[in-house]
């Protein structure tokens, strides 16, 4: 452990940080304990002049490039209502960003309230905009939600999650430089074997790989905060298109555009032109409004504080940090909310 001085709205705190073992999320949890600023709302700066750090919770702490520097944290502005959406706080993620499949969140846990979110008429939630209707497409909560959502978007079949897992595994095998042991957080062969299991979760690493594979930006909107994380393909292969995922904190769903509300699935558009990175893009603006609608229903989970139960041994756990530690110690990767 090493001391790190943290400046925050309440004053100054010295954190004890394990630079060799911590993930970015571990640091965020320590900051949360000292400041009560949730990880999803933290804006962290380091160095002089201060530079804003891109926080990818699942990456090793070394990805931030800090060693004993003073850190400054502030809370991001709360998202405004859908009638006056706040500017996106999204970070543009390059090919070195990602998450470890063996780590708990950016995935799904049984019984998330986001699963059953629907419109008052009993169908899926939607938002109308100039291009049609942006529709929330709910996929099963079977530990493959990210892969099912991507399969729905690019293969028009949410049952092809295993095929999407194989794409990820093959891309990691082919690119030993980008997807090294250090970036993956574990030996590459172990990571590949894990990601092929239906019980393993996907996150930022998988989204970055799939954006490159399909030459399409994947934009993931966080229901709790309204933040949009952009996963672009490399510029040389970028098709100029974008798709939308909806992230509840522990579950991914897809969003599609329908010309009319009762249009059959074949008429839904899953990939759309990326006109800009901000609110002047009609699809991104609609995605924020859809997140507002889901947030109003409490269709999200705060992963720092939610209560979990290991479905294998029955142990009670609090928050993703304890769940990750339990998974690492026991190999148990099946959790449910209390």
Structure confidence at residue 114 (pLDDT): 33
Structure confidence at residue 276 (pLDDT): 87
Q: Residue 79 above 80 pLDDT? A: no
332 catalytic? Reply is yes
Taken in order of first residue, the domains within the chain and their CATH numbers are: 2-75 (3.10.20.90), 113-296 (3.90.70.80), 304-337 (no CATH)
Q: Which of 113, 218, 142, 205 is nearest to 168 (CA)?
A: 205
Of 59-63, 83-87, 117-121, 124-128, least confident by mean pLDDT is 83-87
Higher pLDDT, 89 or 62: 62
Q: Residue 101 above 60 pLDDT? A: no
Mean pLDDT of all residues in 246-270: 91
Report the alpha-carbon distance of residue 182 to residue 53 in Å, rounded.
19
Structure confidence at residue 78 (pLDDT): 52
Structure confidence at residue 65 (pLDDT): 81
Residue 335: CA atoms inside 13 Å, Cβ hemisphere, count? 36
Q: Residue 299 above 80 pLDDT? A: no
What is the three-state SS of the chain? CEEEEEEECCEEEEEEECCCCCEHHHHHHHHHHHHCCCHHHEEEEECCCCEECCCCCCCEHHHHCCCCCCEEEEECCCCCCHHHCCCCCCCECCCCCCCCCCCCCCCCCECCHHHHCCCCCCCCCEEEECCEEEEEECCCCCCCHHHHHHHHHHHCCCCCHHHHHHHHHHHHHHCCCCCCHHHHCCCHHHHHHHHCCCCCCCCHHHHHHHHHHCCCEEEEEECCCCCEEEECCCHHHCCCEEEEEEECCCCEEEEEEECCCCCCHHHCECCEECCCCCCCCHHHHHHHHHHHHHHHCCCCCCCCCCEEEECCCCCEEEHHHHHHHHHHHHCCCCEEEC
- Active-site choice (110, 175, 238, 332): 332
Confidence (pTM): 0.61
145 catalytic? Reply is yes
Report the alpha-carbon distance of residue 79 to residue 39 in Å, rounded.
15
Q: Residue 111 above 80 pLDDT? A: no
Structure confidence at residue 213 (pLDDT): 97
- Active-site choice (18, 142, 170, 189): 142
Report the alpha-carbon distance of residue 104 to residue 311 in Å, rounded.
14
User: Tens digit of pLDDT for each residue in 42-69?
Assistant: 889 888 777 888 787 777 888 788 876 7
Backbone φ, ψ for residue 94 (5° rounding): -90, -175
Structure confidence at residue 110 (pLDDT): 32
Structure confidence at residue 234 (pLDDT): 92
Q: Residue 156 above 60 pLDDT? A: yes
Of 162-166, 265-269, 326-330, least confident by mean pLDDT is 326-330
Q: Residue 36 above 90 pLDDT? A: no
Q: Residue 278 above 90 pLDDT? A: no
Mean pLDDT of all residues in 285-299: 90
pLDDT confidence band for 336 (50 / 70 / 90): low
Q: Residue 120 above 70 pLDDT? A: no
142 catalytic? Reply is yes
Average pLDDT along the chain: 80
Percent of the chain whose predicted confidence (pLDDT) is above 90: 40
- Active-site choice (26, 141, 145, 253): 145
- Active-site choice (8, 136, 230, 251): 251
Report the alpha-carbon distance of residue 163 to residue 60 in Å, rounded.
28
User: Tens digit of pLDDT for each residue in 173-222?
Assistant: 999 999 998 888 889 999 999 999 988 888 899 999 999 999 999 999 99
Structure confidence at residue 98 (pLDDT): 31
* Structure tokens that stand for 250 in this block: 């522990």
Report the alpha-carbon distance of residue 284 to residue 257 in Å, rounded.
12
């Amino acid at each position: 452990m090493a001391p790190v001085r943290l400046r925050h709205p309440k004053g100054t705190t010295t954190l004890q940080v394990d630079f060799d073992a911590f993930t970015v999320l571990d640091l965020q949890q320590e900051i949360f304990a000292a400041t009560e600023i949730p990880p999803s709302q933290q804006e962290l700066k380091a160095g002089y002049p201060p530079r804003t750090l891109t926080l990818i919770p699942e990456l090793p702490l070394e990805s931030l490039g800090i060693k004993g520097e003073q850190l400054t944290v502030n809370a991001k502005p709360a998202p405004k209502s859908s009638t006056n959406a706040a500017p996106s706080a999204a970070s543009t993620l390059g090919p070195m960003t990602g998450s470890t499949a063996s780590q708990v969140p950016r995935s799904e846990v049984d019984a998330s309230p986001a699963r059953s979110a629907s419109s008052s008429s009993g169908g899926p939630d939607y938002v109308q905009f100039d291009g049609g209707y942006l529709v929330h497409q709910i996929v099963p909560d079977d530990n493959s939600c990210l892969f099912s959502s991507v399969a729905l978007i690019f293969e028009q079949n949410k049952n092809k999650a295993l095929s999407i897992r194989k794409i990820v595994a093959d891309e990691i095998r082919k690119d030993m430089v980008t997807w090294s042991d250090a970036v993956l957080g574990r030996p590459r062969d172990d990571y590949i074997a894990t990601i092929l299991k239906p019980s393993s979760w996907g996150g930022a690493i998988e989204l970055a790989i799939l954006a490159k594979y399909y030459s399409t930006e994947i934009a993931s909107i966080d229901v709790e905060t309204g933040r949009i994380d952009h996963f672009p393909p490399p510029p040389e292969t970028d098709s100029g298109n974008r798709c939308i995922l909806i992230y509840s904190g522990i579950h991914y769903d897809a969003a599609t555009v329908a010309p009319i509300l009762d249009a059959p699935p074949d008429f839904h558009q899953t990939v759309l032109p990326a006109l800009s990175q901000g609110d002047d893009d009609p699809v991104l603006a609609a995605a924020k409004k859809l997140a507002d609608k889901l947030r109003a229903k409490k269709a999200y989970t705060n992963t720092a504080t939610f209560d979990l139960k290991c479905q294998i041994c029955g142990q009670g756990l609090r928050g993703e940090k304890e769940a990750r530690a339990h998974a690492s110690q026991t190999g148990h990767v099946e959790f449910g909310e209390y």
